[in-house]
Structure 1
Amino acid sequence: MILTLDLTSDVPLYLQLRDRITEGIAEGALVEGSPLPATRALAADFGINFHTVNKAYALLRQQGLIRLNRKTGAVVAAAAAADPVFHAEWTARARTLLAEAIARGVPADDVLAACQTMLASFHTPQTKDSP
């Protein structure tokens, strides 16, 4: 997986890293056990401070998306079921993003189409009821 950052963005670099890795997991490019680059190596690749990468990895660990180990480094964790607290927080964040789109004049049909396109791009495991 190739990570890209926008060094001119208003979004902090550690959040961009967290977002790109989260997207990689959702898209199936990063699966359980996939190793992530060492913090110093990734920082050197982007020409950023390694503490920035550490902060991104710490957030991903707190969110249960990666495991950190001194021997193996950072690896993608097993997918966990969404808990009720996460679901409530996620719903609130999604509501705000959707409200921002509507408040800025994006037609509801365009918002819905964009959401469907993005969801379709993510790898979702087949359930027992799926064909």
Structure 2
Amino acid sequence: MLLRISPDAEEAIYVQIRNQIVEGIAKGELEYGEKLPSVRSLAADIGVNFHTVNKAYQLLEREGFILIHNKKGVTVRPEGIEKADGAYFEKLHQSLRTLISEAAARSVPRDVFLKDCESIYSEIEQEQERSAK
């Protein structure tokens, strides 16, 4: 999986790394149990400070996407990602509320917003299907 980091983006680099790894898992580009590059190796590959990668990895581990072993390295959780529960749905609701509020404040039409959500979800499902083959 190739990470595309944009130093000029509004999102912090560690958030970009986190988001792209989560998307890679969602699309099936990263398999459960797959080994990820070490902190130093990934930092060198994408040209960022290793503390930035470490921050992304620590966040991913806290969120249950990866496991960090001192001797075995970093892997996508072998048993898979925990299914959504009530706490996750509450977090999702709050995140969506913020995105929808911003979109509404910027006069994004509801149908455009919903169409974009549907399009992104469909794209991820198609990637999952391709990866499963």
Name the TM-score, length of structure 2 as normaliser.
0.88
Matches within 5 A, 1:1-131: 1-77=1-77, 78-123=80-125
CA distance in 2, matches of 1:2, 1:46: 9
**Alignment partner of 2:35: what SS?**
coil
Report the alpha carbon displacement of residue 104 of structure 1 after superposing the two structures with TM: 0.6
Letter in 2 for 1:102: A
CA distance in 2, matches of 1:7, 1:79: 29
Provide Cα deviations, 1:35-84, integer angstroms capped at 9, x if missing partner.
11111011111221101000000000000000111232111111211121
Decide which moves more: 74-83 or 14-23. Answer: 74-83
Identity value in percent: 40
Give 1 or 2: higher helix fraction.
Answer: 2
Decide which moves more: 71-80 or 108-117. Answer: 71-80
- Runs of 4+ in structure 1 over 6 Å off: none
Report the alpha carbon displacement of residue 6 of structure 1 after superposing the two structures with TM: 0.5
**Alignment partner of 2:36: what SS?**
coil
CA distance in 2, matches of 1:121, 1:31: 18
Contact 1:66 1:76 in 2 (8 A): yes
Report the alpha carbon displacement of residue 28 of structure 1 after superposing the two structures with TM: 1.2
Q: How many residues align?
A: 126
Gaps of 5+ in 1: 127-131
Provide Cα deviations, 1:81-125, integer angstroms capped at 9, x if missing partner.
112112101111111101211211111111011000111122498
The CA RMSD over aligned residues, in Å, is 1.7
Larger relative contact order (Cα-Cα within 8 Å, sequence gap ≥ 6) = 2
CA distance in 1, matches of 2:57, 2:90: 23
Letter in 1 for 2:18: R
* Closer/same/farther in 2, CA of residues 123 and 37 from structure 1, 3 Å limit: farther
**Alignment partner of 1:111: what SS?**
helix
Letter in 1 for 2:95: R
